[in-house]
Amino acid sequence: MRSRSLLSAVLLCFLTAGNCVEIPSDTPLPDSQVGTTDDRATLNQQFLEMFARAYYPGRSGQIMLVPERGNVLLEPDDPFYRFMHGSPWDYDVEVPLILHGQGYIRQGIFEDPVTHRDIAPTVASLLDVPTPATMSGTPLIASLTNATDQPRVVLVAVLDGARRDFFDQHIDDLPTLNRLRNEGAWYSEARIDYLPSLTSVGHASIATGAEPRVHGVVANTMFDLRFNQPSGPFPDLSPASLYALTIADLWNLDTQGSAVIIGQGTTARATIPMAGHGGCLVSAHSTIMAMFDGAIGGWVTNNDCYDLPSYVADDKAARVWESGESWLGHEIHDSSSLLRTGRFIAYQVDALVSMIEREQVGQDEIPDLILANFKTLDYIGHRWGPDSDELAEALRDFDRELGRVIEALESAAGDNGFVIIITSDHGTPGEPEEPDHARYYITDIIEAVHDRFDPTERRVVLFYGDPADNQFFVDRLRLENLGFDLDSVATYLEGLPYIFSAYTEDEVAAVSGH
């Protein structure tokens, strides 16, 4: 039986002629409202609101799912993805947040509930640049000093897939991060307040300071009905689908292209939000965007919007495996194997330090901006899990390489000339604890839906691709012709023992205010 609170909310919306309950866009959910209760009805409503923050018509699926806590949804037979995030449970949504910068950041532990969208307006405050209406986050004023000047460099580093508790479990092995945390501002209640909790949505929210329902990036993979095929959020490395200005865009416009702005990362879904729209934004200039492309084993860009220094483009990753290196006994023989080792972090930082030095970052009075995605922890977490030796070693590797970045910034801008912000886009689940929890496969969900609702032609499910999206796309017209509706599908899925809740697009849209 569907949750009465969900159906009541939707019914109220329609009975009041569309006066739907909206989620305040400038206020994060209090800590007591994001999964810290055991009451299923309360959690159902909270998770509905989280999906509503990331609902965008035409881009979101028709059915949204939450697995039971401790269960993991996966694609079958994929050895690289044995652990999968995307849920609202604490292991996926509790993220670290450190701010550090002598003279600019106050030292202390801050227990205020904060979210991804508070980061961009905080950077805007440091740079003293006005923010647009889409940037609904709140600057973290409590941790900012009353400095009258601007830092020469601001670095935002996103540790892809890093849970907040990593910083407690491994802190003795992480001297650089430990120092930044102790000397700077540590936000102990930073967490994600939207669903799904994954890379594309996280990076876009960090970069824009907007809710996903505003910036438009709501899933790693969507289904485009125009072409009847799946699509990522940034096809052809184009930022066109990002519908809100990023902090890089604001600084690009404010400085008329005179600031050095660098966006670096792995995969388009992580890197393009970091770089912003670059020269594809009206009145803006090209920025540097360096994205690692595993297919060619090197750094690439979109030349229509961004620049890529030749010395970065020429640095091919093959130099790592051609030297015969291995990592924790794992052979490195191509881009895929390299990405899942700490050796890639060193390769990435080689490029980042080169850009800091050769692009003269921090060398004048106009502050420069660097936004970097570090993807390795995510790849390792997906394959070996958060409690693996590989994850612990990769954290140590990152900590060491972060020290190299700090040394480069100190050389460029002085010991007191820069601010570093460190966060994560999402967490990762641990090993399912049998017998109560297990791995389940999205192909089984598709088969179950077809068995129940479309047993003959089996085509009512249009697409269910990335398990982390926790949503799938349905042919609504066919479903109706078969005598069913979305609520029938959601009710059926909630009867599966490994599904905590299922929501229809109509329910989510009503709460989102669309």
What is d(CA 339, CA 236) in angstroms, rounded to the nearest whole number? Answer: 22
428 domain-assigned: no
pLDDT at 27: 41
pLDDT at 2: 56
272 domain-assigned: yes
What is d(CA 3, CA 502) in angstroms, rounded to the nearest whole number? Answer: 10
342 domain-assigned: yes
One domain for residues 221 and 277: yes
430 domain-assigned: no
429 domain-assigned: no
CB 193 within 8 A of CB 212: no
pLDDT at 58: 96
Give the domain-ending residue among 423, 455, 477: 423
pLDDT at 4: 37
Q: Which of 488, 464, 448, 492 is nearest to 61 (CA)?
A: 464
Give the domain-ending residue among 423, 451, 470: 423
pLDDT at 36: 60
Q: Which of 44, 67, 163, 194 is nearest to 467 (CA)?
A: 67
Distances (CA, A) of 118 to 207, 242, 292, 336: 10, 18, 27, 33
pLDDT at 228: 95
One domain for residues 275 and 356: yes
Distances (CA, A) of 251 to 155, 260, 444, 487, 493: 13, 10, 47, 45, 46
Number of domains in the chain: 2
Q: What phi, psi does 461 have (nearest 5°)?
A: -85, 115
- The predicted-structure confidence for 317-367, as pLDDT tens digits, reads as follows 999 999 988 999 999 999 999 999 999 999 999 999 999 999 999 999 999
52 domain-assigned: yes
390 domain-assigned: yes
Q: What is the pTM of this model?
A: 0.93
CB 54 within 8 A of CB 196: yes
One domain for residues 386 and 400: yes
Residue ranges for the chain with pLDDT beneath 70: 1-36, 514
Q: What is the DSSP string of 111-147?
A: -S-B-GGGHHHHHHHHHT----TT--S---GGGB---
One domain for residues 123 and 224: yes
One domain for residues 419 and 316: yes
One domain for residues 75 and 105: no
One domain for residues 214 and 270: yes
Give the dihedral sign, CA 468/398/124/369.
negative
Return all residues near 335 (Cβ < 8 A) that are at least 6 apart: 292, 294, 295, 297, 317
Q: Classify residue 236 by its DSSP letter.
A: G
One domain for residues 180 and 287: yes
- The CATH number assigned to the domain holding 265 equals 3.40.720.10
311 domain-assigned: yes
pLDDT at 1: 39
Give the domain-ending residue among 372, 402, 423: 423
CB 489 within 8 A of CB 473: no
Kindly state the percentage of the chain with pLDDT values over 90. 91
pLDDT at 20: 38
State the Cα angle at 46 between 42 and 52, rounded to 5°: 145
pLDDT at 10: 37
One domain for residues 335 and 445: no
One domain for residues 26 and 110: no
One domain for residues 194 and 336: yes
Residues spanned by the domain of 57: 4-85+435-512
Q: What is the 3-state secondary structure (H, E, C) of 33-58?
A: HCCCCCCHHHHHHHHHHHHHHCCCCC
Return all residues near 437 (Cβ < 8 A) that are at least 6 apart: 68, 69, 70, 71, 72
One domain for residues 505 and 482: yes
